[in-house]
């Protein structure tokens, strides 16, 4: 069993960090061009959903790490 868990722990998982979503009619989507601004629904101060395989597995906050950005984990898995 421990060997199985160790093997599973080596599996790569692609994570996505999603700031927000919105819905709009296709006609509006077709009108989008560079410079357009799209409002996002349900965005609260720099929070992101953590997505794995299309499912939300956590929440986090955007943080600055030197010249880059990162995500501080706020909640994971069962309490996502």
CATH number of the domain encompassing residue 30: 2.30.330.10
Among 1-10, 16-25, 71-80, the least confident range? 1-10
Domain contains 23:
yes
Q: How far apart are CA 80 and CA 63, in angstroms?
A: 19
Domain contains 31:
yes
Question: What residues contact 49, with CB distance under 8 A and at least 6 apart?
Answer: 17, 18, 56, 58, 59
Domain contains 7:
no
The count of structural domains within the chain is 1
Domain of residue 49, residue span: 13-79
This prediction's pTM:
0.70
Structure confidence by residue, pLDDT tens digits, 26-79: 999 999 999 999 987 766 667 899 999 889 999 999 999 999 999 999 999 875
């Amino acid at each position: 069993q421990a060997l199985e868990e160790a093997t599973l722990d080596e599996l790569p998982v692609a994570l996505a960090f999603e700031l927000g979503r919105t819905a709009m009619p296709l006609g509006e989507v077709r009108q989008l061009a560079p410079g357009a601004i799209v409002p996002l629904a349900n965005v609260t101060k720099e929070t992101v959903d953590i997505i794995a395989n299309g499912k939300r597995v956590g929440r986090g906050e955007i943080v600055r790490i030197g010249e880059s950005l990162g995500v501080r984990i706020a909640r994971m898995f069962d309490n996502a």
